[in-house]
A and B are shown apart, each in its own frame.
Chain A
Amino acid sequence: MGKRDYSLIGPDAKRALETGLASAEWYHTDVPRKEMKALMQRSDGPAIRDTIIWLGSMAAFAGAAVWLWPSYWSIPFFLAYGVLYGSGGDSRWHECGHGTAFRTRWMNDAVYQIASFMMMRNPVTWRWSHARHHTDTIIVGRDPEIAVMRPPDLLRLILNFFGIIDVWHAVIDLARNAAGIISAEEKTFIPEQEQPKVVRIARIWALIYAATAAAAVHTGSVLPFLIIGGPRLYGAWHHVMTGLLQHGGLADNVTDHRLNSRTVYMNPVSRFIYWNMNYHVEHHMFPMVPYHALPKLHEMIKHDLPAPNRSILDGYREMIPAFLRQLRYEDYFIKRELPPTARPYRAEFHDLAPQAVAAE
């Protein structure tokens, strides 16, 4: 395969449509309907509990940080607040975007709006981009949410641990949308009737950031930006650390989530911040299952999945060498071995993608 073109309106996008990779049939592990229905059941309890802990902790850490400001003693409190804002916000945005966190719709929507603001992701645009990510996961030219393109841009990845590239693009998108402009790429996945909502949200957010800037100027302090907006930079590291593991170094242009997604066992604090998205193969295969039921789903279908990475560190030990090899040979990917109990990867799915051969 030649150089990949990740544009949603470029030659790879056209090829994905022509070859049937776009909107294709994906592999699913068999789960009896009754058991899947039980797993999909919604409940407000776990998400209310977690949201109280999340927002309550943020309020406490922010309060302590402001109280101690400008002492250095405020730093640990800002760091804790920041990771809940700039990384905890990512998983809340994600899960509430799916509408699976809470049973009650308005609760999902309210947390989705708050988390979208924290993550500087227009809630309309990103709802549609994430739908495409699930339809065409890591299909080049179709998936707008490919975090690590090939060959990997390692500088970009490192900068994004501090949100620098993401925030730069978010500010540009915010300004463009607030000016009433929807880009050609956005138009490929946002229906026309939804586009005015993109502009309206962008204008509201622009006002909030303008008010934050005015408060900073008025007080002669950066403190307002350390509370609003800034944590998207200094608190982003955890969601980037966990997010890169989702698909990094694995196959592209395949239609089996076992090949392009990674499940990683994690410590309970990271799982709280990440809302169990470490069970990422399971999430992609069955996006209707709420975050709190993913461990149970994992136990039910792990016989059919590649062995999970044992830790975040184990995942990085697998992923970083793959990134380095992709610098020289971008077709390289990690082909994950299936256990003997699993149904094999199906040739009729993957022959669609002639480059889908591990370069071992």
Chain B
Amino acid sequence: MPQWVDACAVGDIDEEDLIRFDHEGRTFAIYRSPDDEFFATDGVCTHEHAFLSDGLVMDYIIECPKHNGRFDYRTGEAKGAPVCVNLKTYPVKVEDGRVFIDVA
């Protein structure tokens, strides 16, 4: 059962960037790709505790600020050492200028 949550306004995220979104004790990362699509993943790196929102988005890659671990934020795929475990991803939809993520 989807559980859509209003996370932010479209304009809150620059293109090729991300923001952190906290909801009910969980942390998510919401991305805006270079071609203006939105994606969401868990907000903490799977390698060690670091908030991905402090990292760098390059095309479709998010690079963790702590050890430069890289993930494809569209699929959550870990792209190699030092990250070995994929990120969990979440469905996203945009309605009336707002970004919603399904946190179920």
Contact = CB atoms under 8 A, between A and B. Distances in A.
Interface string B65-86: 1111010000000000110100
Main secondary structure of the interface of B (DSSP, over half): loop
A288 B49 contact: no
Contacts of A42: 56, 58
A135 B81 contact: no
A326 interface: no
B42 interface: no
6 contacts: A99-B63, A100-B68, A128-B82, A131-B82, A194-B84, A287-B65
B84 A134 contact: no
Given A23-B48, A131-B67, A194-B84, 15 more contacts: A36-B54, A37-B17, A41-B56, A42-B56, A98-B68, A99-B68, A103-B58, A128-B82, A131-B48, A135-B67, A287-B65, A287-B67, A287-B68, A288-B63, A288-B65
A23 B49 contact: yes
Interface of B: 17, 47-49, 54-56, 58, 63, 65-68, 70, 81-82, 84
B56 A37 contact: yes
Contacts, number: 43
Contacts of A191: 84
A37 B67 CA distance: 16
A103 B56 CA distance: 12
A40 B55 CA distance: 9
A183 interface: no
Main secondary structure of the interface of A (DSSP, over half): helix
Interface residues of A, number: 22
A26 to B, nearest CB: 9
Nearest to B84: A191
Interface string A29-71: 0000000110011100000000000000000000000000000
A267 interface: no
Contacts of A287: 65-68
A23 B84 CA distance: 18
A266 B94 CA distance: 51
